[in-house]
Structure 1
Amino acid sequence: MRAVICKAFGPLEDLVVEAKELGEPGPGEVRVAIEAAGVNFPDTLMVEGKYQVKPPLPFTPGTEIAGIVQSVGDGVTHLEVGMPVVGMVGVGAFAEESVVSAARLMRRPASMDPVTAAGFSMTYGTSMHALKQRAQLLPGETLLVLGASGGVGLAAVEIGKAMGATVIAAASSAEKLEVARAAGADHLINYATESLRDRVKELTADKGVDVVYDPVGGDFLEQAVRVTAWEGRVLVVGFAAGTIPRIPANLLLLKGCALVGVFFGTFAARNRQANKDNFSQLFTWFEEGKLKPLISRTLDLADTVEALQLLAARSAIGKIVLTTGRALS
């Protein structure tokens, strides 16, 4: 089978596609024929050796898959051969097949095609955990989403609306903001051409926002903290801008607000039932038409480097998905 191989941490261009042998699943594992794999910003960091997790070398990158169960190891009861599945696998997604922990996979909703499914778990799982468990977002509150046209940003816009919030979407171009508007955003801010601080104050009548969702980092996080309402919650989701900001602690004191970290992978591993409940709600919203994942590009497994470069350059809108050439179910 084909698999993308990272032989040393470093430039994305050093990745290669090679033939790889794959064993049978052990206890608690399943072997999956991968139809499609989602591409996420943390994948670029992992290849470059900049992520919190550094897999043993060599490894196959990719965290998010949609596929069909081929074989099942001992002790696996919730999955069976031939079942369409979706989930986050840690590593190993950029391949035609993978042996993964069965606990990481869920039955795929019948109405969800493989390409859509491959771009669902990471973005919607992250944003649901962020807004439900970490921010405890309430109906009627105001949510500011930075980087609102990216995968997790768009998911946050849709989930925020589904939870009853007023959503302000912020992004760096009119094109990106139009995507956020189509996803349900109530208000738009182009932070490349207008002041984030002034526009939020205008839109909220100087009250500020109850929750900030920030997957961008850089200078915008401090600006967002400054427009947070009393007892607001600022969600630190990621650093796509490439720099980790420093926040003046006095801002948190004066606003009585909370700076809250969001690490979905660890949450999903440590709180499996809560994560399962989150996805039950997400799948229901999907089937009700409230969540409409945007897959902006679909590339072949051989084009993995190109896909990762698009994310690293922050030029992707929505999700990019790799396909393996397998017949899509």
Structure 2
Amino acid sequence: MIAALCESHGPPESLVLRDLPDPSPGPGEVLVAPSRVALNFFDTLIIANKYQVKPPPPFSPGGEFCGRVVALGDGVEGFATGQRVAGYCAYGAARSRLVVSAEDLAPVPDGLSDDQAAGLFITYGTTLYALKQRGQVRDGETLAVLGAAGGVGLAAVELGRVMGADVIACASSPEKVAFAREFGARRGIDYSTENLKETLKRMTDGRGVDCVYDAIGGAFSEQALRALAWNGRFLVIGFAAGEIPKIPLNLTLLKGCSIIGVYWGAFVKREPEAHRENMAQIFAWAANKTISAHVHAVLPLERIAEALNMLRDRKAQGKIVLAVPQ
């Protein structure tokens, strides 16, 4: 098999392609031939040893994929060789053969392309968990999405709309705001030119927003928190801006608001049944076109450095997917 490997921590350009022996599935495991591997912002961090998950080199980046079942380990039921599946593995997917636990796989419904199915687990899985289990977003509430044109941001725009929220897309250019509005945001803010706090307050007639979905961090986090309504919820998704903000905790007291961490990987392990229910709903919505599962670009595996740089530089509008040779 061919694999993109991080043999020593560094930038995307340090990744190499290697020919490796094909692995074999153990008990409860499935050998999959990924045709598509979806990348995420955290992949740029994990290869630089700046992420909370720190696998020892050599390892492959890529935490989600779509492909076909090649072989089943002992005790695996519910899957068959040749079946199309999608799955999640935290890291290690950027290769032509991959062994994963059967519990981390889901069948791909007809009518859903490999490109789309590859990117549903992490971005949409994280976002549905954030909005449903953590933020408890309700019909008619106002949801502000920071980084609304990126992978998780676009998922938040779409899922927020499906859940009945009034979505305000917040992004770093008018083009990105317009793009997010195509997917269900009713209003938008270009926070490169507009004051985020003041504009959010003005858009809600001074009341403030009910929920903030923040995958960006940096200076915009506190501005968005200050725009929360009474009993508002601030969802901490990630820090694509590179800076972990230091929030004055007196704001939570004065506003009666909550700052809520969203750690989807831990949720998957601790609450597997709720995770499976979430993913079943996401795949159903994607198959019937309720959500778009928009893919920004599909690049061949050998261009993985270019793909990761697009994510690092925040140039992606939607998912970045790798095509893996079979």
1:60-105 CA distance string (max 9 Å, x none)? 1110110000000011112221110011112221111111111111
Give how far 1:56 is off. Answer: 2.2
Amino acid at match of 2:206: D
Amino acid at match of 2:306: E
Partner of 2:144: 144
Partner of 2:52: 52
Report the 3-state secondary structure (helix = DSSP H, G, I; strand = E; otherwise coil) of the residue aligned with 1:48.
Answer: coil
1:112-171 CA distance string (max 9 Å, x none)? 110111122111001000000000111111000000000000000010010011000000
Q: Distance in 1 between matches of 2:113 and 2:312?
A: 27
Q: TM-score, normalised by structure 1?
A: 0.97
Partner of 1:18: 18
Q: Distance in 2 between matches of 1:16 and 1:325?
A: 15
Q: Distance in 1 between matches of 2:288 and 2:69?
A: 26
Partner of 1:97: 97
Give how far 1:287 is off. Answer: 2.8
Give how far 1:324 is off. Answer: 1.1
Amino acid at match of 1:285: W
Amino acid at match of 2:265: G
Amino acid at match of 1:288: N
User: Contact between 1:22 and 1:99, CA under 8 Å: does it hold in 2?
Assistant: no
| Identity between Structure 1 and Structure 2 (%) | 49
Q: Distance in 2 between matches of 1:179 and 1:225?
A: 24
Moved more, 156-165 or 79-88: 79-88
Counterpart check, 1:302 vs 2:323: no
Runs of 4+ with deviation above 2 angstroms: none
Unmatched runs of 5 consecutive residues or more in structure 2? none
Matches within 5 A, 1:47-196: 47-196=47-196
Report the 3-state secondary structure (helix = DSSP H, G, I; strand = E; otherwise coil) of the residue aligned with 1:42.
Answer: helix
Partner of 2:256: 256
Report the 3-state secondary structure (helix = DSSP H, G, I; strand = E; otherwise coil) of the residue aligned with 1:115.
Answer: helix
Moved more, 9-18 or 249-258: 9-18
Moved more, 193-202 or 62-71: 193-202
1:28-49 CA distance string (max 9 Å, x none)? 1110011000010111111000
Partner of 2:269: 269
Q: TM-score, normalised by structure 2?
A: 0.98
Unmatched runs of 5 consecutive residues or more in structure 1? none
Partner of 1:27: 27
Report the 3-state secondary structure (helix = DSSP H, G, I; strand = E; otherwise coil) of the residue aligned with 2:293.
Answer: coil
